[in-house]
C-alpha cells in the first residue's frame, strides 16, 4: 500500500539501548496524538476481545549524530512537518510537566535533541531526513 504521508523517527546514535527504546516510544505517541486521523481501527482477536488501535502506516526509525538531528529538525520546521521532540534533559525528569519545563529552557534553534519524530507529506519528510541511515 502506498501512503501520501510518511512517519520517521530519528534517534541519537550514541544512547544506551534502553534510552533509544524509551525515546522511540515517547516520540511515536507524540505523532499518534498529533495525527488521530492516521490511527487505524481497533484490533479484535479470535476471542472477540478488543485491543488498542495502532498507527495505520509504517514508522521508519533512523539514526543520526547531533548535526544530523539538528538538520532534520530545521528541515522539519521549514517544511512545516508535524514534530515530536525529545531532549537530553528529559532523561532527568519524571513526568510530562517537567519534560515541557526543561524543553522550554532549550535554545529554540539548537535544542540538545536525542530524538525527533516527523510526519507529513512523503516528499517533505524524505527531504528532512536526507542522508540519514535506518537504525541498525
Residue with cell 516528499: 123
Answer yes or no: is pLDDT of 17 > 90.
yes
Whether the pTM exceeds 0.85: the reply is: yes
Element (H, E) at 11: strand 5-12
Length of the chain, in residues:
136
Answer yes or no: is pLDDT of 2 > 90.
no
CA distance 91 to 86: 9
- CATH for 5-38+52-134 is 3.40.1490.10
Answer yes or no: is pLDDT of 109 > 90.
yes
Answer yes or no: is pLDDT of 3 > 90.
no
- Domain regions of the chain by residue span: 5-38+52-134
Answer yes or no: is pLDDT of 56 > 80.
yes
CA distance 125 to 12: 18
β strands within 16-122, DSSP E: 43-44, 50-51, 59-64, 82-87, 113-121
Amino acid at each position: 500500500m502506498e501512503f501520501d504521508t510518511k512517519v520517521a523517527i530519528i534517534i541519537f546514535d550514541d544512547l544506551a539501548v534502553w534510552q533509544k527504546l524509551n525515546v522511540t516510544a515517547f516520540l511515536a505517541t507524540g505523532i499518534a496524538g498529533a495525527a488521530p486521523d492516521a490511527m487505524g481501527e481497533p484490533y479484535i482477536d479470535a476471542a472477540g476481545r478488543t485491543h488498542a488501535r495502532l498507527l495505520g502506516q509504517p514508522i521508519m526509525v533512523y539514526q543520526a549524530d547531533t548535526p544530523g538531528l539538528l538538520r532534520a529538525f530545521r528541515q522539519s520546521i521549514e517544511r512545516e512537518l508535524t514534530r515530536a521532540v525529545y531532549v537530553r534533559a528529559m532523561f532527568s525528569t519524571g513526568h510530562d510537566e517537567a519534560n515541557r519545563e526543561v524543553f522550554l529552557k532549550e535554545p529554540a534553534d539548537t535544542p540538545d535533541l536525542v530524538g525527533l519524530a516527523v510526519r507529513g507529506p512523503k516528499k517533505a519528510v524524505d527531504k528532512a531526513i536526507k542522508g540519514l541511515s535506518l537504525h541498525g
